[in-house]
Amino acid sequence: MDEVMAKDALLNSYLHLFSISILYYDWSLTFDLEISTIWRRPIKASTICFVLNRYFSVIGNVFITIFNMKRQSLQSCKNYDLSHQLFIIVNQTFVCVLLMLRTWALYNLNTPILLFMITIALLLLGVASWSQVGQQNQYATNLPGCNVFYSIKGGLHLAAAWEALLAFDSLIFVLTVLKTYKGRHRHHFISMRRINIVSLVLRDGATYYAVMALANLANILTFYLARPMLKGCLTSFASCISVTMMSRLMLNLHSAASAGIFSTSPTSDTSSGVAFTSRVPENLPFAMNSYQTDLELRRQSLQVGADFVARATGSHDIEME
């Protein structure tokens, strides 16, 4: 039994280190982009959202990791377990709020949509809070770190919190698909080389949802199937992945639109062109603004065609009226 416990404790430690390695590695990869798109621009509400999402996790995981490397007393382990769960809840709350803001902007700051998402979020938050009540956990203090034994009932309770999070991610994904599907019929781009903003909105949302759904589902299964000490062993992984994905999406948004996560299309009834998208390449033959109208796109496409013909024939520049 002691050998199994030691192996489970070691596996927990390895999984935690693997999870934070993803977080810090991605931070190092995107730090240059963060400086150019976040720190070298005026501070806005979207900037604050980005900093809270990324650096609460980056800094908090340092203390979590250090504390988890030392042998703890029973009371210290209980305090650590509670603090770690609260840390995860706050992390996921930041991510969910940012997803709501992005979707709200996608719907052009539509108040009923915002109220609908807040209502669902509060209901799911109630489920997550209920899952933390009445936990009767046991702790292995004879091993380094804080190793928790979850009962079958305790595992089912904690699984409910992650199931609520998966349900919220699914809601956001459905809202994104509905809006972008409608928007595709309102955006007609002339050039095949031009990037379809609406398609990129859907792609970003689909990528986030696919990655997060798999991470959350894997973590949920541990609460049902794993041994008592391994229940929730992928919690750090799911949390770090969600923060990493959200940071990436926000950096893409700030690269494409200076207003960040609060960017909306100029009209509330005819466009869904929120620039929550991948970065627009700078080597296109003409500049692309996320909020260009169809008329402007046609004019620029025709102008490019005219310039090409002029260069090919050696004639003077042709101006499009």
pLDDT at 190: 40
What separation in angstroms does the CA of 204 have from each of 5, 109, 149, 174, 253?
41, 19, 38, 13, 10
Query: Measuring CA to CA, which residue among 182, 209, 186, 188 is closest to residue 107?
Result: 182
Report the pLDDT value the prediction gives residue 80, as an integer from 0 to 100.
Answer: 87
Residue 105 in contact with residue 58, Cβ under 8 Å?
Answer: no
Q: Tens place of pLDDT for every residue, the chain, 321 residues?
A: 578 888 998 999 999 999 999 999 999 999 999 999 888 888 888 888 899 999 999 999 999 998 888 788 888 888 888 889 899 999 999 999 999 988 888 888 899 999 999 999 999 989 888 887 767 778 887 777 788 888 888 888 899 999 999 999 999 999 988 887 776 555 544 444 444 555 666 777 788 889 999 999 999 999 999 999 999 999 999 999 999 999 998 888 777 655 445 544 444 333 333 333 333 333 333 333 433 434 444 455 445 455 544 554 554 444 434
* Single pTM value for the model: 0.76
pLDDT at 6: 86
148 forms beta bridges with: 139
Domains of the chain by residue range: 2-290
Q: What's the pLDDT score for residue 133? A: 75
The span from the CA of 90 to the CA of 162, in Å, is: 13
CATH second-level architecture of 2-290? Up-down Bundle (1.20)
Say what the pLDDT of residue 44 is: 82
Residues 6+ away with beta carbon under 8 Å from 101 = 49, 261, 262
pLDDT number for residue 47: 86
Q: What is the DSSP string of 129-140?
A: HHHTTT---EEE
